[in-house]
C-alpha cells in the first residue's frame, strides 16, 4: 500500500491531526482510531490519497476554486434531465467571474463558485434565467410558490385549450373523415361543404391559434428540453416529443396556407397535454411525499447570546460573531459555533455532529463543537478563531457531495439517444422513396408525417414518470418518502449496505437496560433523579421498580459524566415537595440526597469513593463488566455503601437483527459505521450477518468510508442524524430514518417516516418492483412502435389512425402504471 502521509490533515478524512498521535505502520497520521481502522481495512481499495482523488476529479473537468471566491446556491425550475445539467453548467462557466459550476436536476439546484466583486447573485440568476429556466435563491419561498403556481397554470391552460380544440375535431372534423357514420347524410354533406368553402379558413385559423397556445405555454418545458438536447447534442425524450408535436403543427399550418383541408393539430395537442399531465402528476406525488416530513427537526442555529464586558447579554446573529467573543449557553440550547469552555461544567450531547450517543462532560479549557446540545447546566464559551460551526462544515460537505454527483439520465432518455435519430432518418427516407416512386409531394409528406406521429413517444414518455409516480405513491402508503425519482433506476442490486449505529440500529434514546437493585432502592433512585435534567438521570427517573431486578452482563461505555450547576437545569416536577426528598445535591458526575430518611447517591463510582463510601468488590466487578459492554453503569449507594448498579444505554431497535439478516441473505455485505467508540459497537462484531464494523469515525471519515466502499460496488447508506448526512449524500443511495434530522433527510434519497427499520426491506422491494414496471411499460411502448411504424411506412396508416393508436398505447401505459406495485 502506498504511503500517503499528510502534513496537515488526517490521511482518510483530512481533519486536523494536531494533538493526536494515531498512526499506522506506514507512518500515515489520522485524527482518530476510527479513521485509522477504516484506512487499514479499505485503503488498498483505491491505493490513492483523498487529495489525489480530488485532483483526478479536477483533471476530469472540475475546476479549482480560488480562495476569494464564494459559493452561491440557486434553485432552478425547468431542469429535469442530465442534458439540462450540462447546459446550465457550461453557460454559468462562460460568465465572467465564475470559476466553477455544479448542477443537479435531482435537487433542482446549481452551485456556482464566483468572485462576488465581479458577478453578483442577481447577475447569476439573470444569466441562468436567460437560458429559459427560472433561477432564484433556494431560500426564496415566494419564488418557489410562484413556480408551483406557474406549473399548475400551464397544465390548466393546456387542458382547457386542448378541450376546445378536441371539441371541434369531435363535433365537426372527425365526422367528415368517417362518412355518415356519426351523422345522417344531410348533416354530413353540410359539414363537408362547409369545410371545403371559404368559411373553413377562419375556422382552421381559430384551431391553429388555440393549438399555438397549448404548444407555446403548456409545452414550453418540453420545447426547452428539446432545445437543450439539440444544443448539447444529447437527444432525449423531450426532443422526440417535440419532433412529433411540432411536425404535426407545421404540416397542418402549411396545409392551411396552401388551401388544404388535412390538419392534425389534434395530434399536437394530444402529445403535449398527455406528456405534460403525466410529468405534472409525477411532480405532485413527489411534493406530497415531501410534505410528510414536516415532523423532522432542523438544527440550524441563527442567533447567539453574547456576553458583554460588563456581564450584560445581547442576542446577535451567528454571522456577526467574531473570534474571542463570549457566549452564554443554557441547558436545552445548542452551542452556536466551535469554541472553548471558559466557565461552567456541563454535559454536552454531540450526537448531532459526531454521532456519539452519550453526553460528554465539559469543563473550563475543553473544546466544544458548534451544533452540540447542552443537556444540563449552563456554560460560557469563547468563540474559536474561525467563528464557524462544525455543523456548518457538515452542511457544506453534504452540498459538496450532492452537487458534484450528477443526476442519472432516465432509461427512456438513454433509449431516445438511439430512437430519435432512427425515427428522423426513417421519416426522411420514406418521404424520399415515395417522391422517387412518383407520389405527390402532399402524399409523400403525409406518409413522412404519419411515421413521425406514430413514432411519437407518448407511451415511452409516460413509461418512466408514471411508473416512478406509482412507486412513490405505494411508498407513501408504507410511510416511506422517496425524494429522488432516480432511486428506482439506481438501486438494482446493492453490493454493500452500511448502517449507522446510534439512532438507526439503536433507538438513540437513553433507557435503563437492566439493574440488580431491589425495587425499593430503584424507586428511591428514580425519585432522586427526577430533579436532574441529565439524559441518564431522565432515563432512571422514567424507570418503574421491578420485583427481581436483572442480571448484568450486557454492554456499555466508560461511565456517566454528570453536569454541575446546582439547581440550574434541574427538573422540578409536580409534587416535588411531597416526594420524600429531604435534601438534594447535583454534581457533575451524579446526584445525592436524603430520601425517606436514607442517604442515597446515584452516579459515577468516583462520586461514591470521593464521599468515602465503600464500593464492594462484587459491585466494582459488575461496574467494570458494564463498562466493557458499551453502555453506562451507574452506581447506586445507600448510607455509605454501594448497593448495586443500573445499566443505562440506547437500546437496540426491535427487529434490527432480522433486518440485517434479511439483507445479508441476498449476498449483500453489511457494514456497521458509527461515531461511538469500539466498546459501544462491540455487540455488532459478534453478529453473523455483519461483515465489518467501523467505530469512532467522524462525519468526514464516514463520507470517505462510503466513497471507498463505493469503489467495491454499489453502496447504500442508512442513517438518521446530521452527522450521517455527508455519508448519506456520498452513497449511491441514502436512506434516512424519519426520526432523524432535516439535514439527514435532505441528504438522503429515501426517508422512513415511521422510523421503522423493517421498512428498509420494503424500500428495496418497491425499487425492484418499480424497475420492473418501467421496463414493462417501455417494452409495451416499443412493441407498439414495432407494429405501428411498419404500417405507417407502407402507407396503411394515416395520421388520424396513427394518433388514435398513439392514444391507445398511452392509455395502456397509464392503466398499467395505476396498478399497485405489490401486485407484480
What are the catalytic residues? 500
Beta strands at 326-330 and 134-137: parallel, antiparallel or unpaired? unpaired
Q: Give φ, ψ of 18 to 5 degrees.
A: -60, 135
Q: Given its phi and psi angles, is residue 737 left (phi above 0), alpha (psi -120 to 50 degrees) or beta?
A: beta
The vertex-762 CA angle with 757 and 766, nearest 5°, equals 150
Integer Cα distance of 51 and 53 in angstroms:
5
Cell of 278: 403525466
Q: Are 109 and 78 in contact (CB under 8 A)?
A: no
**Which residues lie across from 101 on neighbouring strands?**
112
**Which residues lie across from 22 on neighbouring strands?**
30
Q: Give φ, ψ of 586 to 5 degrees.
A: -110, 125
Integer Cα distance of 544 and 576 in angstroms:
17
Integer Cα distance of 81 and 771 in angstroms:
18
Q: Which is nearest to 543 in space by CA: 529, 557, 562, 561? A: 529
Integer Cα distance of 367 and 786 in angstroms:
69
Integer Cα distance of 65 and 81 in angstroms:
26
Q: Which is nearest to 469 in space by CA: 277, 292, 241, 294? A: 277
Q: Which is nearest to 790 in space by CA: 436, 447, 460, 458? A: 447
Integer Cα distance of 486 and 605 in angstroms:
53
Q: Are 15 and 8 in contact (CB under 8 A)?
A: no
Cell of 679: 466498546
Integer-rounded Cα Rg, in Å, for the chain is 33
The residues, any chain, with a CB within 8 Å of residue 319's CB and separated by 6 or more, are: none
Q: Would you call 32 helix, strand, or coil by DSSP?
A: coil
Q: Would you call 423 helix, strand, or coil by DSSP?
A: helix
Integer Cα distance of 416 and 420 in angstroms:
5
Q: Would you call 192 helix, strand, or coil by DSSP?
A: helix
Q: Are 524 and 596 in contact (CB under 8 A)?
A: yes
- 10 Å Cβ neighbour count for 31? 24
In Å, what is the CA distance from 681 to each residue of 275, 598, 629?
51, 38, 9
Q: Would you call 466 helix, strand, or coil by DSSP?
A: helix
Amino acid at each position: 500500500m502506498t504511503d500517503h502521509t499528510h502534513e496537515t490533515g488526517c490521511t482518510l478524512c483530512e481533519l486536523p491531526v494536531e494533538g493526536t498521535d494515531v498512526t499506522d505502520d506506514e507512518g500515515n497520521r489520522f485524527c482518530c482510531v476510527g479513521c485509522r481502522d477504516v484506512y487499514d481495512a479499505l485503503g488498498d481499495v483505491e491505493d490513492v490519497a483523498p487529495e489525489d482523488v480530488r485532483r483526478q476529479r479536477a483533471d476530469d473537468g472540475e475546476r479549482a476554486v480560488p480562495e476569494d471566491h464564494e459559493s452561491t446556491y440557486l434553485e432552478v425550475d425547468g431542469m429535469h434531465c442530465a442534458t439540462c445539467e450540462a447546459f446550465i453548467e457550461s453557460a454559468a462557466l462562460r460568465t465572467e467571474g465564475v470559476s466553477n459550476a455544479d448542477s443537479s436536476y435531482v435537487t433542482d439546484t446549481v452551485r456556482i463558485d464566483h468572485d462576488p466583486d465581479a458577478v453578483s447573485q442577481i447577475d447569476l440568476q439573470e444569466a441562468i434565467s436567460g437560458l429559459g429556466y427560472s433561477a432564484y435563491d433556494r431560500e426564496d419561498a415566494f419564488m418557489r410558490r410562484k413556480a408551483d403556481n406557474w406549473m399548475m397554470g400551464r397544465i390548466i391552460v393546456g387542458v382547457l385549450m386542448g378541450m376546445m380544440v378536441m371539441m371541434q375535431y369531435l363535433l365537426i372534423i372527425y365526422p367528415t373523415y368517417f362518412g355518415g357514420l356519426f351523422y345522417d347524410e344531410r348533416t354530413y354533406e353540410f359539414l363537408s361543404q362547409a369545410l371545403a368553402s371559404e368559411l373553413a379558413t377562419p375556422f382552421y385559423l381559430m384551431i391553429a391559434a388555440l393549438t399555438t397556445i397549448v404548444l407555446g405555454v403548456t409545452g414550453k418545458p418540453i420545447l426547452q428540453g428539446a432545445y437543450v438536447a439539440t444544443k448539447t447534442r444529447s437527444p432525449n425524450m423531450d426532443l422526440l416529443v417535440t419532433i412529433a408535436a411540432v411536425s404535426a403543427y407545421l404540416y397542418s399550418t402549411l396545409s392551411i396556407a396552401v388551401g388544404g383541408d388535412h390538419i392534425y393539430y389534434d395530434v399536437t395537442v394530444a402529445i403535449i397535454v398527455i406528456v405534460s399531465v403525466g410529468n405534472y402528476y409525477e411532480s405532485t406525488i413527489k411534493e406530497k411525499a415531501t410534505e410528510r416530513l414536516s415532523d423532522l427537526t432542523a438544527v440550524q442555529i441563527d442567533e447567539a447570546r453574547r456576553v458583554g464586558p460588563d456581564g450584560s447579554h445581547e442576542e446577535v446573529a451567528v454571522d456577526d460573531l467574531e473570534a474571542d467573543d463570549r457566549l452564554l449557553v443554557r441547558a436545552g440550547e445548542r452551542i452556536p459555533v466551535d469554541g472553548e469552555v471558559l466557565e461552567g461544567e456541563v454535559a454536552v450531547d454531540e450526537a448531532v455532529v459526531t454521532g456519539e450517543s452519550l453526553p460528554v462532560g465539559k469543563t473550563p479549557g475543553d473544546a466544544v463543537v458548534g451544533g452540540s446540545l447542552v443537556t444540563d447546566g449552563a456554560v460560557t464559551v469563547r468563540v474559536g478563531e474561525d467563528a464557524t460551526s462544525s455543523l456548518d462544515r457538515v452542511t457544506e460537505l453534504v452540498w459538496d457531495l450532492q452537487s458534484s454527483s450528477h443526476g442519472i439520465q432516465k432509461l427512456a432518455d438513454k433509449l431516445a439517444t438511439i430512437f430519435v435519430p432512427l425515427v428522423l432518418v426513417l421519416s426522411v427516407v420514406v418521404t424520399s422513396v415515395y417522391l422517387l416512386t412518383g407520389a405527390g409531394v402532399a402524399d409523400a409528406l403525409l406518409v413522412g408525417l404519419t411515421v413521425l406521429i406514430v413514432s411519437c413517444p407518448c407511451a415511452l414518455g409516460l413509461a418512466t414518470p408514471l411508473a416512478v409516480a406509482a412507486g412513490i405513491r405505494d411508498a407513501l402508503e408504507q410511510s416511506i418518502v422517496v425524494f429522488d425519482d432516480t432511486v428506482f433506476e439506481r438501486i438494482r442490486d446493492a453490493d454493500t449496505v452500511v448502517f449507522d449505529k446510534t439512532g438507526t440500529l439503536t433507538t438513540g434514546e437513553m433507557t435503563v437496560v437492566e439493574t440488580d437493585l431491589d425495587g425499593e432502592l430503584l424507586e428511591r433512585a428514580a425519585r432522586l433523579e427526577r430533579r436532574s435534567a441529565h439524559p441518564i438521570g431522565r432515563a432512571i427517573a422514567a424507570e418503574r421498580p421491578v420485583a427481581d431486578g436483572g442480571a448484568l452482563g450486557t454492554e456499555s461505555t466508560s461511565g456517566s459524566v454528570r453536569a454541575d450547576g446546582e439547581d440550574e437545569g434541574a427538573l422540578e416536577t409536580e409534587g416535588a415537595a411531597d416526594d420524600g426528598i429531604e435534601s438534594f445535591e447535583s454534581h457533575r458526575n451524579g446526584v445525592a440526597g436524603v430520601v425517606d430518611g436514607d442517604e442515597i447517591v446515584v452516579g459515577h463510582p468516583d462520586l461514591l469513593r470521593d464521599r468515602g463510601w465503600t464500593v464492594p468488590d462484587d459491585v466494582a466487578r459488575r461496574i467494570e463488566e458494564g463498562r466493557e459492554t458499551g453502555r453506562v453503569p451507574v452506581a447506586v449507594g445507600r448510607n455509605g455503601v454501594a448497593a448495586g448498579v443500573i445499566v443505562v444505554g440506547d437500546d437496540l431497535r426491535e427487529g434490527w437483527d432480522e433486518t440485517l439478516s434479511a439483507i445479508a441473505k441476498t449476498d449483500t455485505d453489511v457494514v456497521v459505521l458509527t461515531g461511538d467508540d469500539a466498546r459501544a459497537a462491540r455487540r455488532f462484531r459478534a453478529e453473523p450477518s455483519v461483515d465489518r464494523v467501523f467505530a469512532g469515525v467522524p462525519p468526514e471519515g464516514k463520507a470517505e468510508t462510503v466513497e471507498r466502499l463505493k469503489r467495491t460496488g454499489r453502496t447504500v447508506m442508512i442513517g438518521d442524524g446530521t452527522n450521517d448526512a455527508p455519508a448519506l449524500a456520498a452513497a449511491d443511495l441514502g436512506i434516512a430514518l424519519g426520526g432523524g434530522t432535516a439535514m439527514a433527510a435532505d441528504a438522503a434519497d429515501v426517508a422512513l417516516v415511521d422510523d421503522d427499520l423493517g421498512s428498509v426491506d420494503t424500500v428495496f422491494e418497491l425499487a425492484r418492483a418499480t424497475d420492473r414496471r418501467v421496463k414493462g411499460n417501455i417494452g409495451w411502448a416499443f412493441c407498439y412502435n414495432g407494429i405501428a411504424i411498419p404500417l405507417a411506412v407502407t402507407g396503411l396508416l394515416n395520421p388520424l389512425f396513427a394518433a388514435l393508436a398513439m392514444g391507445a398505447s398511452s392509455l395502456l401505459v397509464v392503466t398499467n402504471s395505476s396498478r399497485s406495485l405489490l401486485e407484480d
